[in-house]
Amino acid sequence: MRNYHLEYKVLIEDLAPLVHAQRAENLRKKLLIQWPHIDVLSAFYTHSEINDYLDSLLERFPKRVQVKQFGWSYERRPLKVLTITNGDGRRNKPVILIDGTVHAREWISPSMALYIIQQLLDNYGDNQELLQDYDWVIMPVVNADGYEYTHTDSRYWRKSRRPTSNPECIGTDINRNFGYEWGHDEGSSSDPCENIYRGERPFDQSESQVLRDVMLHYKGRLNFYLSLHSYGNYFLLPWGYTSDFPDTYQDMMSVADAGAKAIIYSTNGIYSYGSTYYVLYPTSGDTTDFAFGVVNATVAMTMELPAAGFQGFDPWISQIERLVTESWVGVRAMAAEVIRRYPS
């Protein structure tokens, strides 16, 4: 830094002990939990714990949920998807599809997916209208191998865990590996050592294939696609790959607007929203552009949940409740707006 005359400031002298402290706290908290009745607010859960929890819902809500395995991760972890209905037996309702943990280190994302599940099942009384004419499909963990790795080895890992052509560098960014405008301009990297490495070919990662197949399974019914990430307080709309705006941009903006307003009224939390390309940075081959460009989702969005913890990606357990309750206000308002605008 000094050689290049760059100003710098050390914010954290040594991060490792802090990461270990968080890990120890999490393990301690989980000793208190009565499986499989997990408490989303009191710990972070691993991929296999989340899968067990999804399976347990089948027993608790046999008429209202389905658990489908759409495939496996590179390291052969089963990738599961939960469908939630109101149990009225009506088929082919429009769908709200939510995914989490495309990026391994963004731990509030799976917690948020689990919180949404609990709101729709355990707190059904307050949320019935959201399931009257719509089904919800939720995949809490897409990047299962990367997520597991953040629990066991490297807390700030982002990518998948499949080796690349470079023996020094592992992993592909699932959110640059999708087959719509894949590799377009500066929105991704061809260097396997980069965090936004796009892979050798579109969909050369099992996890992207599985999420693609989930999306395509609901093609024609997909009215709202929402990808949960962190961090930054953004509602990011298509496109990521180009500065052009989609024809229905204003309609999607109205949905984001409903979410942002609901959050600011309830907590004063501030979200910025607009096209990814403008609001954040160019991205190519991401899930949201694919959902909109290929699957024809009516509304497609990436939600960047708020930063927390030391690095933004690593909230303390004590911060989970504030983060997920605030975010639910936004997700619920956006879902309601989608349902209002696009009745079945």
| DSSP SS3 for 99 | strand
Token representation of residue 209: 């294939």
Are 113 and 106 spatial neighbours (Cβ–Cβ below 8 Å)? no
Q: Report the distance separating Cα 266 and Cα 255, nearest Å.
A: 17
Please report, as a single letter, which amino acid is at residue 258.
Answer: A
Give the whole-angstrom CA distance, residue 81 versus residue 287: 16
Q: Which does 162 bind (CB under 5 to 8 A by kind): ligand 0X9, Zn ion, none?
A: none
Residue 77 or 103 having the CB closest to ligand 0X9: 103
Contact 127, 165 (CB under 8 A): no
Site string for ligand 0X9, 69-108 (x = CB under 6 A): ----------------------------------x--x--
Q: Taking a C-beta distance cutoff of 8 angstroms, is the pair 81, 97 a contact?
A: no
What tokens were used for 106? Answer: 């963004």
65 bridge partner residues: 84
**Site for Zn ion, rule CB under 5 A:** 103, 229
Specify the stretch interacting with ligand 0X9 by CB under 6 A; choose among 46-54, 139-147, 163-171, 278-286.
Answer: 278-286
With tokens 């399974």, the residue in question is 217
The answer to whether residue 175 forms part of the interface with ligand 0X9 (CB under 6 A) is: yes
242 touches ligand 0X9 by CB under 6 A: no
The least distance separating ligand 0X9 from the CB of residue 321, rounded to whole angstroms, comes to 22
Size of the site for ligand 0X9 (CB under 6 A): 15
Query: Which of these ranges, 38-46, 136-144, 234-242, 315-323, lies near ligand 0X9 under the rule CB under 6 A?
Result: 234-242
Cα 281 to the center of its chain, rounded Å: 18
Answer for which of 22, 143, 209, 302 binds ligand 0X9 (CB under 6 A) is 302
283: contact with ligand 0X9 by CB under 6 A: yes
Query: Does the footprint of ligand 0X9 cover residue 229 (CB under 6 A)?
Result: yes
Active site amino acids: 304
Minimum gap (Å) between residue 327 Cβ and ligand 0X9:
14
By CB under 6 A, tell whether 110 contacts ligand 0X9: no
DSSP 87: S
Shortest separation between residue 344's beta carbon and ligand 0X9, angstroms: 25
Decide: is 286 part of the binding site for ligand 0X9 (CB under 6 A).
yes
**Minimum CB distance to Zn ion, residue 278 (Å):** 18
Q: Report yes or no: 294 and 182 within 8 Å, Cβ to Cβ.
A: no
Helix or strand holding residue 137 (H, E): strand 135-139
The CA distances from residue 102 to 208, 227, 228, 286, in Å, are: 9, 8, 8, 10
Which range in 8-16, 164-172, 275-283, 334-342 contacts ligand 0X9 by CB under 6 A? Answer: 275-283
- Whose structure tokens read 């600011």? 264
Q: Which of 288, 328, 332, 335 binds ligand 0X9 (CB under 6 A)?
A: 288
CA distance 38 to 100: 18
Residue ranges that bind ligand 0X9, judged by CB under 6 A: 103, 106, 175, 229, 236, 238, 240, 276, 280, 283, 286, 288-289, 302, 304
